[in-house]
Structure 1
Amino acid sequence: MFETVQSDTFVLLSALILISGVFAAKFSNRIGLPSLVLFILVGMALGSDGLGIIPFDSPEFAQVVGIFALVIILFEGGLQTKFSTVRSVALPAVSLATFGVLITSAVVGFTAFLIFDITLLQAFLLGAIVGSTDAAAVFAALKERNIKAKMGATLEAESGTNDPMAVFLTISFIELIVVPETSLLGLVPSFFWQMGIGLLMGYGIGKLASLSINRINLESSGLYPIFSVAFALLTYGAASSIGASGFLAVYAAALVIGNTELTYRYSIFQFNEGFAWMSQILMFILLGLLVFPAELFQWEVIGGGLLLSVVLILVARPAAVFLTTMGMGYRWNEKLFISWAGLRGAVPIILATFPIVAGVEGSIFFFNVVFFIVLTSALVQGTSISWVAKKLDLTGPRKNTPHHSIELISMGKANAEMVQFNVDNDAAIAGKKLKDISFPQKANISAIVREEKLITPYGETEIRAGDFLYILVSTKHEKELKKVLEAKRYPFTSSGPAE
C-alpha cells in the first residue's frame, strides 16, 4: 500500500511539474524572461530548501537526466538546422567552439584563482565548467526572436559543437587534481579522438537513420518519431562508449537526418519539438531541485559569482569572440552581439556535478558559483538579446516557421504530400502572381492563409510575405518544389547570408 501511494504521489508531482513548466514557458514569453530561469526557480521552490515538496540531493541522478535531456535538445536543434546555413558559418563556429572555449576558460579560471582561496588547477576547473555556451539556452533564446540569419546560425552552430571542448577540459582538470601524476599533454590526443570520431559516427549513424526511416514500412505513423529518437540515443551511447563526443555525434546525426527527405517528416519534427520542450522543463526543474538557496545566496558565492559573471560577460567572452573570428567577415557590431548572446545554461550546471561525483575538494562551492553564474547570464543576457540586437541593427524579418511536409499517406502506399510553407520577405516568390511562378507540373496550391484568413488561390493571386501556402505535390517532384520555394531574392555571401 505504501509503495502504491508513493507511486501515485510521483505521478501527481510529475503532472504538476510539467503543468507548471508549460505555464512558466508561456509566462516567460510575455515578460521576455528566458524560460530556463522560471524552470529553475520552480525547482528551487519545490526543493528541500524551499517548500520541501520534493526532497532531492542526488547529483548523480541529475547528471544522468541532464545528459539525456541534452541529447534530445541537441537532436531537435540539429533537425531544424539547414546544411546551407551551417556551411556558411562553419569556420567561425568551429573556431568559437574550440579556441573560443579555451580562451574563455583561461580568463575566467585565472580570475577565479585571484578572488577565491583555491589552487590554480581548481580555478581552471571552474573556468572550464563555464567555458561553453549552452545549446538548450541558445536554441530557446533565439527560437522566437527576429535575429538576422547569420547571427542565429553562428550562435546555434557554436552551441551545438562546443560541448566536446568544455567536457574535455573539465574531465582533464578533474584528472589532474585527483591523479596529480597525469600528464596534460597526454590528454590532448583524446580531444582529437572525441571530435573526429564523434563527427564521423554522427554522420554515419545519421545516414543509417535516414535510410532506415525511409525504407521501413511501419503500420503506425506514431512509430516513426520514436524510431528517430531511438537513433539519437543510439548515436550518443555508441559514440560515448568508445570515448568519442556523444553530444557532437548527436548534433551531426541530426543535421544529416534533418536535411534528408524523410517519410513522416512533419510528425518526426513535431514530436521531437514537444519532446525537447518536455526534456528542457524536467532538466531545469531538476537542476533547480539540486541547489539549496541557503547555500547559494551566501556572500562569498554572490560576491565571487557576480565578479566572475562580469568578467565572463564583459571580458572573457568578447576576447574569445574577437580573437577567434578575426578575418572571417564579421563586423564589429556582429562580434559584439555574438559576445553578448553567449548564454550559459544547463551544460555548465551539469558539468559542475562532475567534480562532486569525482569527490573533488570544494566541488559543492564550485557548483553553487556556477549555478549563480548561469542565473546571472540568463537574467542579464537572456532578457536583453532582442534589445541588444535592435541597438546593433541586427534584427531581421519576423521569425518564420520553416515549411513542413504533412504526409497524406505513408511513403510506399502513396506518393503525395501536403507541403506547408511560410513566405518570408527574402523569398523570390514574394510579390509574384501564381501564374508567374514556375511550380512543378504536379504541384497544386490548395490554400493560402493570410493574416489568419483563408484565401482561395487562382492565377491572379499575388503571394505576399507572411503568407502560409499549402501545396499538394507528388513525392518525386517535392525537391523541385522546394527549390522554387526556398529561392531567395538576395544571394548568399561567402561569409553567410547577405545582409
Structure 2
Amino acid sequence: MISTVQTDSFLLLIALILISGVLAAKFSNRIGLPSLILFILVGMLAGSDGIGFIYFDNPEFAQLVGIFALVMILFEGGLQTKFATVRSVIIPAVSLATAGVLLTSAIVAMAAFLIFDITLLQAFLVGAIVGSTDAAAVFATLKERNIKAKMGATLEAESGTNDPMAVFLTVGIIELIMIPETAVLSLVPTFFWQMGAGLIIGIVIGKVASFSINRINLDSSGLYPIFSVAFALLTYGTASFVEASGFLAVYVAALVIGNTELTYRYSIFQFNEGFAWMSQILMFILLGLLVFPAELFTWEVISGGLLLSFVLILIARPVAVLLSTIGMKYTWKEKTFISWAGLRGAVPIVLATFPIVAGVEDGEFFFNVVFFIVLTSALVQGTSISWVARKLHLTGPKKDIPHHSIELISMGKANAEMMQFKVDEDLKIVGEKLKDVEFPNKANISAIVRDETLITPYGETEIKAGDFLYILVSTKYEKELKRALEAKRADLKKEKSKKVSREK
C-alpha cells in the first residue's frame, strides 16, 4: 500500500512539474525571459529552501537526467538544422567550439584563481565547466527570434559541437586533481580520439538510421518517432562505449538524418520537438531542485559569481571570438553579436555535478558558483539578444512557423507523403496559377494555407509568397517535386539571358 501511495505521489509530482514547465514557457515568451530561468525558478521554489514541497539532493541522478535531456535536445536541434546552412559556417563554428572554448576557459580560470582562495587546477576546473555555450539555451532562445541566418547558424553549430571540448577539459582536469601523477600530454590523444571517433560514429549511425526508417515498413506510424529516438540513444551509447564524444556523435547523426528524405518526416520532427521540450523542462526544474538557495545566495558566491560573470561575458568570450575567427568573413558587428549571444545553460550546470560525484574538494561550492554564472548569463544575455541584434542591424526576416491544424501524414504502405512547402518570395512559382505550374506525375496540391487561413486550391488559384503548400506526392517523385518548386527567379534570368545571347 505504501509503494502504491509513493507511486501515485510521484506521478502527481511529474504532472505538476510538466504543467508548471509548459505554463512557464508560455509566460517566458510574453515577457521576453529565457524559459530556462523560469524552469529553474520553479525547481528552486518547489525545493526544500522554497515552499519545501520536494527535497532533492542527488547529483548522480541529476547528472543522469541532464545527460539524457541534452542528448534529446541536441538530437532535435540537429534534425531541424539544414546542412547547407551549417556547411557555410562549419569552419568558424569548429574554431569557436575548440579554440574558443579553450581560450574562454583559460581566461575565466585565471580570474577564478585571483577571485577565490583555490588552487590553480581548481580554478581551471571552474573555467572548463563554464567554457562552452549551451545548446539547450541557444536553440530555445534563437528558435523564434528573427536573427540573420548566418548568425543563427554559427551560434547553433557552435553550441551543438562545443560540448566535447568542455566535457574533455572538465573530466581531464578532475583526473589531474584526483590523480596528480597523471601526465597532461597523455590527455591530448584522448581528445582527438573523442572528436574523430564521435564524428565517424555519428555519420555511420545517421546513415543507418535514415536507411532503416525509410526501408522498414512498421505497422504503426507512431513507431517511427520512437525508432528515431532509439537511434539517438544508440548513437550516444555507442560513442560513450568506445570513449568517444557521445554529444558530438548525436548532433552529427541528427544532421545526417534531418537532411535525408524520410518517410513520416513531420511526425518524427514534431515528436522529437515535443520530447526535447519535455526533457528541457524536467532537466532545468530538476537542476533547480538540486541547488539550495541558502547556499547559493551567500556573499562569497554572489560577489565572486558576479565578477566571474563580468569576466566571462565582457572579456573572455569576446577575446575568444575575436581570436577564433581571425581571417574569417565576419564583420565587427557580427563578432560582437556572436560574443554577446554565447549563452550558458544546462551544460555548465550538468558539468558542475561532475566534481561533486567525483568527490573533488569544494565541489558543492563550484556548483553554486557555476549555477550563479548561468543565471546571470541567462538574465543578462538571454533577455537582450533581440535588442542587441536590432542595434547591430543583424535582424533577419520574421520567421514563419506554421501552426496549422492540417494533419501531415506519410502513408508508408502506399508510398505517398503529404509534403509541406513554404513559398519564398524569390521562387519562380510566385505569381503563377496552379494550372500553369508543371508538377511531376502523381503530385496534387491538397491545400494552401495563407495568413493562417485555409484555401481550397483550384486551377485559377494564384500562388503567393508566404503560402504554405500541402502536396500529396508519390515518394518516388518527391525529390523531383522539390527541385521544381525550389527553382529560383535568378535561374530564370540566367536562362533568358543565355537565350537572348544565342539569338544574337
Verify same fold: TM over 0.5: yes
Q: Deviations over 1:20-53 (max 9, x none)?
A: 0000000000111000000000000011111111
State the distance in 1 between where 2:80 and 2:282 align.
Answer: 22
Q: Does 1:410 align with 2:375?
A: no
Corresponding position of 2:65: 65
Say if 1:428 and 1:115 are closer, same or farther in 2 by CA, change over 3 A: farther
Deviation at residue 214 of structure 1 after TM alignment: 1.3
Q: Is the 8 A contact 2:240 2:246 kept in 1?
A: yes
State the distance in 2 between where 1:20 and 1:371 align.
Answer: 21
Structure 2 SS opposite 1:454: strand
Corresponding position of 1:495: none
Corresponding position of 1:451: 451
Say if 1:125 and 1:268 are closer, same or farther in 2 by CA, change over 3 A: same
Superposition pairs of residues 331-342 of structure 1, within 5 angstroms:
331-342=331-342
State the distance in 1 between where 2:415 and 2:380 align.
Answer: 50
Deviation at residue 484 of structure 1 after TM alignment: 3.4
Superposition pairs of residues 233-312 of structure 1, within 5 angstroms:
233-312=233-312
Deviation at residue 140 of structure 1 after TM alignment: 0.2
State the distance in 2 between where 1:300 and 1:62 align.
Answer: 25
Superposition pairs of residues 163-202 of structure 1, within 5 angstroms:
163-202=163-202
State the distance in 2 between where 1:138 and 1:391 align.
Answer: 20
Say if 1:459 and 1:410 are closer, same or farther in 2 by CA, change over 3 A: closer
- What amino acid sits opposite 2:327 in the alignment? G
Say if 1:183 and 1:427 are closer, same or farther in 2 by CA, change over 3 A: farther
Structure 1 SS opposite 2:473: strand
Q: Is the 8 A contact 1:79 1:258 kept in 2?
A: yes
Corresponding position of 2:495: none
Corresponding position of 2:477: 477
Structure 1 SS opposite 2:454: strand
Say if 1:19 and 1:454 are closer, same or farther in 2 by CA, change over 3 A: same
Say if 1:359 and 1:387 are closer, same or farther in 2 by CA, change over 3 A: same
State the distance in 1 between where 2:171 and 2:197 align.
Answer: 18
Corresponding position of 2:33: 33
Deviation at residue 489 of structure 1 after TM alignment: 5.5
TM-score, normalised relative to structure 2: 0.94
Q: Is the 8 A contact 1:318 1:339 kept in 2?
A: yes
Structure 1 SS opposite 2:373: helix
Q: Deviations over 1:36-79 (max 9, x none)?
A: 00000000001111111110001110000000000011101111
Deviation at residue 212 of structure 1 after TM alignment: 1.1
State the distance in 2 between where 1:433 and 1:323 align.
Answer: 52
Corresponding position of 1:215: 215
Q: Deviations over 1:270-322 (max 9, x none)?
A: 11011000000000000000000011111111111111111111111111111
Corresponding position of 1:142: 142
Q: Deviations over 1:230-261 (max 9, x none)?
A: 11001101100111000000001111111111
Deviation at residue 265 of structure 1 after TM alignment: 1.1
Deviation at residue 407 of structure 1 after TM alignment: 6.2
Q: Deviations over 1:304-357 (max 9, x none)?
A: 111111111111111111111122211111111111111100000000000011
- What amino acid sits opposite 2:448 in the alignment? I
Corresponding position of 1:363: 363
Structure 2 SS opposite 1:21: helix
- What amino acid sits opposite 1:128 in the alignment? A
Say if 1:376 and 1:488 are closer, same or farther in 2 by CA, change over 3 A: farther
Q: Which moved more, 1:260-269 or 1:398-407?
A: 398-407
Corresponding position of 2:229: 229
Give unpaired runs (5+ residues) of structure 1.
492-499
Identity %: 81
Say if 1:380 and 1:484 are closer, same or farther in 2 by CA, change over 3 A: farther
Q: Which moved more, 1:29-38 or 1:414-423?
A: 414-423
Say if 1:426 and 1:17 are closer, same or farther in 2 by CA, change over 3 A: farther
Say if 1:48 and 1:427 are closer, same or farther in 2 by CA, change over 3 A: farther
State the distance in 1 between where 2:379 and 2:99 align.
Answer: 26
Corresponding position of 2:465: 465
State the distance in 1 between where 2:347 and 2:2 align.
Answer: 37
Deviation at residue 438 of structure 1 after TM alignment: 4.2
Corresponding position of 2:7: 7
Q: Which moved more, 1:396-405 or 1:50-59?
A: 396-405
State the distance in 2 between where 1:119 and 1:213 align.
Answer: 51
Say if 1:89 and 1:448 are closer, same or farther in 2 by CA, change over 3 A: same
Structure 1 vs Structure 2 CA RMSD:
1.8
Corresponding position of 1:325: 325
State the distance in 1 between where 2:428 and 2:61 align.
Answer: 50
Give unpaired runs (5+ residues) of structure 2.
492-504
Corresponding position of 1:497: none
Structure 2 SS opposite 1:465: coil
State the distance in 2 between where 1:19 and 1:174 align.
Answer: 38
TM-score, normalised relative to structure 1: 0.95
Deviation at residue 229 of structure 1 after TM alignment: 0.4
Deviation at residue 426 of structure 1 after TM alignment: 4.8
Say if 1:432 and 1:337 are closer, same or farther in 2 by CA, change over 3 A: farther
Deviation at residue 434 of structure 1 after TM alignment: 3.7
Structure 1 SS opposite 2:263: coil
Q: Is the 8 A contact 1:406 1:420 kept in 2?
A: no
Q: How many residues align?
A: 490
Structure 1 SS opposite 2:396: coil
Deviation at residue 466 of structure 1 after TM alignment: 2.3
Q: Deviations over 1:453-495 (max 9, x none)?
A: 222334443333322111122111111222234455579xxxx
Larger Rg: 2
Deviation at residue 427 of structure 1 after TM alignment: 4.4
Structure 2 SS opposite 1:348: helix
Superposition pairs of residues 418-457 of structure 1, within 5 angstroms:
418-435=418-435, 437-457=437-457
Structure 1 SS opposite 2:411: coil
Q: Does 1:394 align with 2:406?
A: no
State the distance in 2 between where 1:321 and 1:132 align.
Answer: 12
Say if 1:329 and 1:474 are closer, same or farther in 2 by CA, change over 3 A: same
Deviation at residue 448 of structure 1 after TM alignment: 1.4
Corresponding position of 2:496: none
State the distance in 2 between where 1:25 and 1:387 align.
Answer: 20
Say if 1:162 and 1:426 are closer, same or farther in 2 by CA, change over 3 A: farther
- What amino acid sits opposite 1:253 in the alignment? A
State the distance in 1 between where 2:230 and 2:202 align.
Answer: 14
State the distance in 2 between where 1:403 and 1:7 align.
Answer: 36
State the distance in 1 between where 2:452 and 2:281 align.
Answer: 30
- What amino acid sits opposite 1:378 in the alignment? A
State the distance in 2 between where 1:438 and 1:309 align.
Answer: 57
Q: Is the 8 A contact 1:403 1:422 kept in 2?
A: no
State the distance in 1 between where 2:403 and 2:429 align.
Answer: 14
